[in-house]
Amino acid sequence: MVALLGVFLVVTLFASSFGNADVVSLDDKDCAGGYIFVDKEIVIDGPFDGDCILQFETQEDRILAFTVVDGDMKEALRFFSIHDGLENNSPILLLENQKILELASRKDLPAALYTTQSGAEIKFIKLPTSNFQLKIQKAVICPFNLGVDSQCGRVVDETSCYCATFTNRNQADQTMYCVDNNMKLISFENATEEERVQAAWGTQTPFWTSLTDTRREGTWLWESSMTIPDYTNWYPGRPNSVSSNTDDCMAYGGATFLTFWGDVGCATMAHAVCEAQP
Ligand SMILES: *[C@@H]1O[C@H](CO)[C@@H](O)[C@H](O)[C@H]1NC(C)=O
């Protein structure tokens, strides 16, 4: 009981002293159990005891992703099991059952175990022979697809999810398609995100994004996040600066714009990418 309290206090202390701290490091050498809320991500340091049980929980509509920092998850799983949920008989998560449903996911992401719900329990089976750090992150559920003619995957990192739809719709209908599936029409925060999305689904055909200047001509806004872009990737000479122009929505891809951004009429029919962030 004392140890349990200890773990909980450490988390509270670290989280409050750093405000919105991203990483909380637990350094409880004689771990004997504890409950930890995962706000964003937590890294726990070994060595871990043989009898250790740790419980984790995150936001209700999110799941947990477990990875080993700079190490091999398969190797680490000899020393502990991760259980999907906090019930007594929660099933053990197996590495070979993960990622199978996520066809488009990046192949170079660290091996991760995902829960199907917001809680999980780690049971240490025996004392690890080598030291390792476990990273526990809040993640979004990533479905296999959003119906016919779509594909989803963890194409940027291990906690977010992206889905492409290969049905042509206008920009407003693609916005609502994403919203209907609890996602948002894509906004590119930076070049890395854009490159990884383009690597997953190509640029052969145009894809809608959430960037428009429909609210004020000439002021481009990511509608999904209501932010003015920091990073841009316009095709040379775009966007069209004629004040009366009606090319108010941004699509990338296709024979004209290739990997760049083009301003086109919002009624144009195109594919789209939706995203969900933890
Ligand atoms: C780039 O964008 C992605 C997705 O929004 C984000 O997770 C990542 O931290 C960003 N990278 C940089 C270097 O800002």
Q: Cα of 188 to ligand 1 centre, how many Å?
A: 9
156, 157, 187, 190, best to mutate for ligand 1 pocket (most atoms within 8 Å of CB): 190
189, 197, 230, 274, best to mutate for ligand 1 pocket (most atoms within 8 Å of CB): 189
Look up residue 85 and give its amino acid: G
Q: Cα of 273 to ligand 1 centre, how many Å?
A: 17
Q: Cα of 193 to ligand 1 centre, how many Å?
A: 6
Q: Cα of 231 to ligand 1 centre, how many Å?
A: 11
Between the two ends of the chain, the Cα-to-Cα distance in Å is: 32
Nearest CA to ligand 1 atom 4: 193
**Encoding tokens for residue 211?**
């960037």
Superfamily of domain 150-276: Mannose-Binding Protein A, subunit A (3.10.100.10)
In ligand 1, which atom is closest to the CA atom of 190?
A: 1
> What's the CATH class of domain 2-139?
mainly beta
Q: Contact, 176 vs 219, CB < 8 A?
A: no
Q: Cα of 125 to ligand 1 centre, how many Å?
A: 36
**pTM for the model:** 0.88
**Ligand 1 pocket by Cβ (under 6 Å):** 156-157, 189-190, 192-193
Q: Provide the residue-wise pLDDT of the chain in tens; the chain has 278 residues.
A: 334 433 443 443 343 333 333 444 554 544 655 789 999 999 987 666 777 888 999 999 999 999 999 888 998 898 899 999 999 899 999 988 776 556 788 888 888 999 999 999 998 887 766 778 899 999 999 998 999 999 999 999 999 999 999 999 999 999 999 999 999 999 999 999 999 999 999 999 999 999 999 999 999 999 999 999 999 999 999 998 776 688 999 999 999 999 999 999 999 999 999 999 99
CATH 3.10.100.10 domain residues, the chain: 150-276
Confidence at residue 33, expressed as pLDDT on a 0 to 100 scale? 59
Rg (CA), the chain: 22
Q: Cα of 246 to ligand 1 centre, how many Å?
A: 31
Confidence at residue 100, expressed as pLDDT on a 0 to 100 scale? 58
Confidence at residue 263, expressed as pLDDT on a 0 to 100 scale? 97
Distance of CA 249 to the CA centre of its chain: 25
CATH 2.60.120.290 domain residues, the chain: 2-139
In ligand 1, which atom is closest to the CA atom of 277?
A: 5
Q: Contact, 122 vs 82, CB < 8 A?
A: yes
Nearest CA to ligand 1 atom 3: 193
Residues 197-225, buried b or exposed e (16+ Cβ, 10 A)?
Answer: bbebbebeebbbbbbbbeeeeeebbbbbe
Counting beta carbons within 10 angstroms of the beta carbon of residue 235, is it exposed (0 to 12), middle (13 to 18) or buried (19 or more)?
A: middle
154, 183, 192, 274, best to mutate for ligand 1 pocket (most atoms within 8 Å of CB): 192
In ligand 1, which atom is closest to the CA atom of 157?
A: 7
Confidence at residue 211, expressed as pLDDT on a 0 to 100 scale? 98
Confidence at residue 4, expressed as pLDDT on a 0 to 100 scale? 40
Nearest CA to ligand 1 atom 14: 190
Confidence at residue 124, expressed as pLDDT on a 0 to 100 scale? 84
Strands 207-212 and 119-124, sheet pairing: unpaired
157, 193, 273, 277, best to mutate for ligand 1 pocket (most atoms within 8 Å of CB): 193
**Encoding tokens for residue 38?**
């995962």
Confidence at residue 163, expressed as pLDDT on a 0 to 100 scale? 97
